[in-house]
Every structure is written in C-alpha cells, then in structure tokens.
Amino acid sequence: MKAVLECASVRKVYGEKTLAQTVLDNVSFSMVPGDCAALLGPSGSGKTTLLSILGCLLTPTEGTLTINGMSAFPKSVIPLTEFRRRYVGFVFQQAQLLPFLSVEENLSVVAKNSDLASHDRKGRIDILLDRLGMSEHRRKRPGELSGGQRQRVAIARSLLHRPAVLLADEPTAALDRKNGEAAVDLLLEEARAESTALLVVTHDTRLVRKFDRVFHIENGRLEE
Amino acid sequence: MNSSWRLAIKMVAFRRVRFSVACSALGFLFFLSAAQIGLLVGWIDTVTAIVVRAGGDVWVVAHKTPAFDYGTAIPEQRLDEVRSSPNSEWAEPLFMGWMFLQRTDGRRVNIELIGVGDACVGGPWRMAAGNVDCVHEPRSIIVDELYQQQLGIERIGDEIEIAGRRAVVRGISQDVRTLTAAPFCFCSLKEARQYDLRYRSDEITYVIAKAKLGVDPEDLRDSLRSELSGVEVLTATEFAQRSAAYWMLETGIGVTVIITAVLGFSVGALVTSQTLFGITNDHLPNFATLRAVGFSQAKLVGIVLTQSLILGGLGTLVGSALFFAAAHASARTPIPLETTPLIFSCLVVTNLLVCVASSLLAIRTVLRIDPVAVFGGQG
Ligand SMILES: Nc1ncnc2c1ncn2[C@@H]1O[C@H](COP(=O)(O)OP(=O)(O)O)[C@@H](O)[C@H]1O
Ligand SMILES: [Mg+2]
C-alpha cells in the first residue's frame, strides 16, 4: 500500500550556535492508510516536536516530509496551512474547543473551512456525533461538558474532513483512566473505520497493546 | 446565518458586558460626531435660509458684502436696471439692517430687521399666525415664533417700538432662525427705511432677481455684472456659500464643531482598537487552534475585520438612533440638529472605515500567532 505519511532523515534543532539543541535526529519512518501507531518517550524527548512537524505546524531543520504523496518539506507544493486543512487531523491534550460556540457550531465552522461539499457537511457532523455518542449534547457549549465529552467532540472535529493522517498529542493526559481508555478506543475505531493513519502520543503503557505499531523516541532517535 | 459570521459575532460578544459597553461607547461617540455635523448643517441652513428661500437666482449686493447679515445700502436705481434687463423675469428689493427693538416692558433687544418689497420676496416662508401680506399694513411687523419670548411678545396685536417708532405685531412666522442672537423681524421696505435713518428713501440693501425661463443663473449674473456699476452680482448659491463660509470659517464656529466631530471619531477609533485588541488577546489560544486545524491567516484576519464591522455597525446603529431622536426633539428649537441623506451616509461610511482601520493592531496580533501554540503548556 502507498504511504500517506513519509518522513526521511528529519532533524530538528532549536536555537542557534552554543544554545543549539538537537531535539530530533535522523528520524525516518512511514505510515500507510489505516496504520495505528503509538509514540512513546520520556518528557522532553521531542514527541510534540515530531507531531508538530508531521502536522505541518513546524518546519524541520533538515530532512524530507511527504504527506499523501505531496512534498511538504523541503519544498512544499501548497501552503502548509493547506496540508492541515486537507490532510491532517489534530487531537490535543486539551480539547481546545471554541468556548463560545456550541458543540455543533464548533464542528460546522471547521467543516465549512474544509473541502467538504455543503450538502455533505451536516450529514458528516450528524454521523460523527452519533458514532461518538454526543448527539444529545450537540447544542451545549464546551463549558457544559465533561472532559471526556469535550475530548470526544475534539475527536469528531479532527475526523470531519476525512484526514489522511490523524495526530494526537497525549489525548488522554487530561482524562481519568476510564475516559482516557475510551478516548483511545474511539480514536482507533474511527481511524480504522476511515482508513486514516493514526499516530498517538501516550504515556499510558497499558494502552500500547491496542496499537499495530509502537514507536519509541529518546535522545532524538526514533525506534520502532 | 453563515458560520464564519456566527463565529465572529459569538467571539466578539462572548463577554457580554465588555461588548455592551463598547457598543454603547461607540454609539455615543458616533452620536457626538453626528450631532456636531448636525449642528453645522443646522447652522449653515440658518445662515443661508433667507437667501435660499427667497427663490431668486441672482443677488445684487454692495461691494464686499461678507454675508447676508452684513449688507449695506445700494441705490434703488439698481432695481430698475435689473428689471429692465432682457434676461430677468422679475426683480425685487430687500432691506436688512441691525436695529433695536424695545419691548413692552421697556427692555431693548437687538434684531435684524428685514424690509420686503410688494411681492414679499425674501420674507418669511411659513407662518404660525397671520398672513405674510400683513407686512404691508401700516406699522406692521412680523416676528418669529421661536423668539417670541425673547421679544416679549405674547400675541398678535402686541405693540413694541423700533428705533423709537411704534410697531404692531400682525403676524408670527415659523422657523426663521438666527445665528447671531438677534432675531429676524419683517416689515415692509417702506417702513424699514423709516426706522433706519442711515438709509435714504431711494436706497435698498439687495436686489433679488429671477432669470427668464431658459436663462442660467450664471448667464443672468454675467449680464448684470456688465450692466450694473458699483455693486457686486452673485448667484443665490454663491451668496449663500459666501454667507456660510463667513459664519462657519471666518468666525471659527464651524471649525470648532468639525474638530469636535473629528475628536469623536478618533476616540471611537481608540475604543474599537482597544476592544478588538483585548478580544483578540483573550482568544489567542482559540485563534491558534483555528490556525492548527487549517484556517488560513486571511481567514483569521477576516474574522477580526468582521468583528470590527460588527462593533462599528452596532455603534453606528445606536448613535443614529440617538441622533435622529435628538434631531426630532430639536427640530422646533433655535438650534436644530439637521442632516441630509448624503451627509449622513458619509458619516456612516466614515465611521465604519474608522472601525475597520482600528482593527489594525488586532490584525497584527492575529498574524503573529504561531499555530504551534496549540501545544502550549506542555513544554
Ligand atoms: N519552541 C521551542 N524552542 C526551543 N526549544 C524547544 C521549543 N519547543 C520545544 N523545545 C525543547 O525541545 C525539547 C522537546 O520538546 P517537546 O517536543 O515538547 O517534548 P515532549 O513533547 O516529548 O515532551 C524540550 O527540551 C523542549 O525544551
Ligand atoms: Mg509534549
């Protein structure tokens, strides 16, 4: 199968000269549609940095990055925002929903910004809310939801535009054990259902067995 | 409602109190500016009213007459000359002079006395009581409703003195305002020359002329210029503009209100700028999230611009409501707030542009947002 995410010899150095700190060193790997991988590593090992690079939020110092067959680095054919808009879905540690919009509105502003056809948007939102068990809360504001419920909405938001790559940075960190596990299950379920390549940063080693692949990162090196 | 609009509105109005305070402040400031310009329009209307309402195309005035209120004597012969000009349809004389009126209780009040010819051209255009033609009755005088109290006049038939001569109030006009604190009173040209001893019986202040059908006011003006000597000939528009320029610019009162209006817009700009900047800063994490999930910088700028229009639009709405209420309430007073569709549209457009321009600081902030900030707090 053709890779949807491919990075080769990625290096990331923060700072300059004497203050330079190499956070990622020669990171290479690829993922195919439906691939579900966990990313483990101690705090400060560069997990967030790697995810930011894969999600086109941050440019690497060296290396190449290809998403959905298109080069994002070193030469990008379309603006990096476009990669995020079309191909990448994000789930963060905090749900990061817009507090002034209802659940449904949080999804519809993102759907409107995506390439989803207008007749497709409402149905897509309905299906995702339904699958994630949030239909009855669609008119609530994020402030009226529990942490687990908010994270479900964030998962729905990340999947709306049918991304090729779904990146989750410690999505369970703000949740209790039960809700954390439920969130990871949902991510895995949705990624498999939609053939999305999923990469989840987690500290919870007990969840690791649910994934097809496991990456370890330490001292800037990535190992599978 | 379009979802981007909804996003912009809900974000800007998220903190209700701040939003309401900002809209009220902007409304008040727009009202302030609009009211200043409204005063200006009202004043210009006041100082040009008689010239504009007289209905003539051309005015013959003494050399260097700075404004309608400062006319001086010209020979009445000019009137006959204008009448015999092939381009004039009709021509009428007008007297104006500053006089003292002595009230029944003995108090003296400065007035601007207008003496009209047989056709009453240059006389009052609306009457509250009596008929304009009553000025031709002996010792007759018309005063305006707005200044009745100032002149100590209660009803028609009241007697007063002008320059030591008795006069009887036979009519009460409406909406003839003065900017000078000296109210306009009307009498016949003949009476006026008897009150004002500076005038000889063959002198008048102005000749008002109408052009023949098919003759432009400018053509009549030009032909009269070549026919008449020792006077200035102006179109009615020119004379009105000269009067307005004298009062608004030479005396400086127009400049004052314009400065206040500009001040209103400037403070409005500050309020908008600070409000939007504050809102943008409060929502930095949300903007970063939007960037991370694929919103372009242009879209974020669009959100801020929409918000500036929402603030500006609501401010304009509130301010307009205040303005039109004030204009309505002041319509029948000596100092009315007035406007025209064109002037008011210009004010609205200016206000919206000022608000949009004021979003610059907020836009700069939004453009500097780094989407990596979505991972903020995790080190
Ligand atoms: N913007 C930055 N500038 C400089 N150093 C950074 C920046 N972001 C992260 N770092 C450093 O890079 C290292 C890896 O950070 P991060 O990717 O957040 O690790 P993790 O997510 O695995 O905890 C840390 O030492 C951190 O201090
Ligand atoms: Mg991290």
Each residue's pLDDT tens digit, B202-238? 999 999 999 999 999 999 999 999 999 899 999 999 9
Q: In what order do the strands lie in the sheet with A36-40?
A: A88-91, A165-169, A197-201, A36-40, A213-218, A221-223
From the list B368, B367, B369, B353, the residue with the least C-alpha distance to B272 is B353
In the predicted structure, residue B32 carries a pLDDT above the cut 90: yes
Look at A127-131, B101-105, B123-127, B246-250 and tell me which has the smallest mean pLDDT: A127-131
**Alpha carbon distance A126, A107 (integer Å):** 10
- pLDDT of A195 reads 87
ipTM of the complex: 0.91
Per the prediction, chain B carries an average pLDDT of 92
Cβ contacts (< 8 Å) between B286 and chain A: which residues? 96, 98-99
In the predicted structure, residue B306 carries a pLDDT above the cut 90: yes
Phi/psi for A95 (5° steps) reads -65, -30
The mean pLDDT of B240-244, rounded to a whole number, is 96
Residue B169, C-beta contacts closer than 8 angstroms, at least 6 positions apart: B141, B142, B143, B153, B155, B156, B157, B158, B159, B160
pLDDT category at A209 given cuts 50, 70, 90 is confident
Could you tell me the residue ranges of all domains in chain B? 2-46+252-378, 63-230
Place of tokens 């349809």: B89
Rounded to 10°, the helix B297-330/B16-53 angle is 50
Q: How far is A93 from chain B (nearest CA, A)?
A: 8
Helix (H), strand (E), coil (C) string for A160-207: CCCCCEEEEECCCCCCCHHHHHHHHHHHHHHHHHHCCEEEEECCCHHH
pLDDT digits (tens, 9 = 90+) for A158-181: 989 989 999 999 888 877 887 788
**Alpha carbon distance A113, B356 (integer Å):** 24
A48: Cβ below 6 Å to ligand 1? yes
* Contact indicator for B338, B42 with CB cutoff of 8 Å: yes
Percent of chain B with pLDDT strictly greater than 90 = 84
Percent of chain A with pLDDT strictly greater than 90 = 24
In the predicted structure, residue A200 carries a pLDDT above the cut 80: yes
Rounded to 10°, the helix A103-113/B3-12 angle is 130
Q: Please name the residue whose Cα sits nearest to atom 21 of ligand 1.
A: A48
The mean pLDDT of A90-98, rounded to a whole number, is 89
pTM: 0.85
Q: Please name the residue whose Cα sits nearest to atom 26 of ligand 1.
A: A44
More confident residue, A20 or B37: B37
* Contact indicator for A48, B257 with CB cutoff of 8 Å: no
Look at A1-5, B79-83, B106-110, B307-311 and tell me which has the smallest mean pLDDT: A1-5
**Residue B84 CB neighbour total at 10 angstroms:** 10
Distance from residue B175's CA to the centre of ligand 1 (Å): 77
SS3 B25: helix
The mean pLDDT of A172-193, rounded to a whole number, is 82
Burial environment of residue A20 by CB neighbours within 10 A (0 to 12, 13 to 18, 19 or more) = exposed
The mean pLDDT of B109-120, rounded to a whole number, is 95
Cite the DSSP H helix spans in chain B: 3-12, 16-53, 77-83, 189-195, 217-227, 236-245, 253-282, 284-292, 297-330, 341-357, 360-367
Structure tokens at A105: 């509105």
| Pick from B10, B378, B379: CB nearest A101 | B10
Please give the angle made by the CA atoms of A81, A88 and B373, to the nearest 5 degrees.
Answer: 60
Please give the angle made by the CA atoms of B302, B303 and B304, to the nearest 5 degrees.
Answer: 90
Largest CA distance in chain B: 98
Closest residue in chain A to residue B286, using alpha carbons only: A98
Cβ contacts (< 8 Å) between B289 and chain A: which residues? 92, 96, 98
pLDDT category at A16 given cuts 50, 70, 90 is confident
Cβ contacts (< 8 Å) between B371 and chain A: which residues? 57, 84
The mean pLDDT of A50-57, rounded to a whole number, is 90
Per the prediction, chain A carries an average pLDDT of 87
- pLDDT of A186 reads 83
Structure tokens at B217: 């006011």
The mean pLDDT of B101-114, rounded to a whole number, is 93
Residue B217, C-beta contacts closer than 8 angstroms, at least 6 positions apart: B57, B58, B211, B235, B236, B237
The torsion defined by the Cα of B363, B368, B373 and B377, in degrees rounded to 10, comes to: -90
Q: Please name the residue whose Cα sits nearest to atom 16 of ligand 1.
A: A46
The mean pLDDT of B253-257, rounded to a whole number, is 90
- pLDDT of B376 reads 60
In the predicted structure, residue A141 carries a pLDDT above the cut 60: yes
Ligand 1: atom nearest CA of A51 is: 17
Cβ contacts (< 8 Å) between B293 and chain A: which residues? 84-85, 90, 110, 113, 157-158
**Alpha carbon distance A220, A61 (integer Å):** 13
**Alpha carbon distance B201, A217 (integer Å):** 111
- pLDDT of B1 reads 58
Where is A53: in which H helix or E strand?
helix A47-54
SS3 A21: strand
**Alpha carbon distance B299, B4 (integer Å):** 9
* Contact indicator for B327, B336 with CB cutoff of 8 Å: yes
**Alpha carbon distance A130, A135 (integer Å):** 5
Q: How far is A101 from chain B (nearest CA, A)?
A: 7
pLDDT digits (tens, 9 = 90+) for B124-150: 999 999 999 999 999 999 999 999 999
Please list the residues that pair with B231 across neighbouring strands: B62
Largest CA distance in chain A: 55
Distance from residue A147's CA to the centre of ligand 2 (Å): 19
Please give the angle made by the CA atoms of A214, A216 and A222, to the nearest 5 degrees.
Answer: 115
In the predicted structure, residue B117 carries a pLDDT above the cut 90: yes
Taking only residues 248 to 307 of chain B, the set having a beta carbon closer than 8 angstroms to any beta carbon of chain A reads 285-286, 289-297, 299
Cβ contacts (< 8 Å) between A157 and chain B: which residues? 293
Contact: B374, A96; criterion CB under 8 Å: yes
A168: Cβ below 6 Å to ligand 1? no
A23: Cβ below 6 Å to ligand 1? yes
Q: Which ligand is nearest to the CA of A173?
A: 2
Phi/psi for A9 (5° steps) reads 50, 40
- pLDDT of B377 reads 47
DSSP B187-236: EEHHHHHHH-TTS-TTEESEEEEEEPTT--HHHHHHHHHHH--SEEEEEH
Closest residue in chain B to residue A114, using alpha carbons only: B294
B349 touches chain A (CB under 8 A): no
In the predicted structure, residue B378 carries a pLDDT above the cut 60: no
More confident residue, B116 or A10: B116
- pLDDT of A17 reads 80
The mean pLDDT of B1-18, rounded to a whole number, is 85
The 3-state DSSP composition of chain A as helix, strand, coil percent (nearest 5) reads 40, 25, 35
A196 touches chain B (CB under 8 A): no
Could you tell me how many CB contacts below 8 A there are between chain A and chain B?
84
**Alpha carbon distance A136, B173 (integer Å):** 71
The mean pLDDT of B172-185, rounded to a whole number, is 93
A43: Cβ below 6 Å to ligand 1? yes
- pLDDT of A180 reads 80
From the list A165, A162, A102, the residue with the least C-alpha distance to A128 is A162
The mean pLDDT of B335-351, rounded to a whole number, is 94
Residue A86, C-beta contacts closer than 8 angstroms, at least 6 positions apart: A68, A114, A115, A161, A163, B294
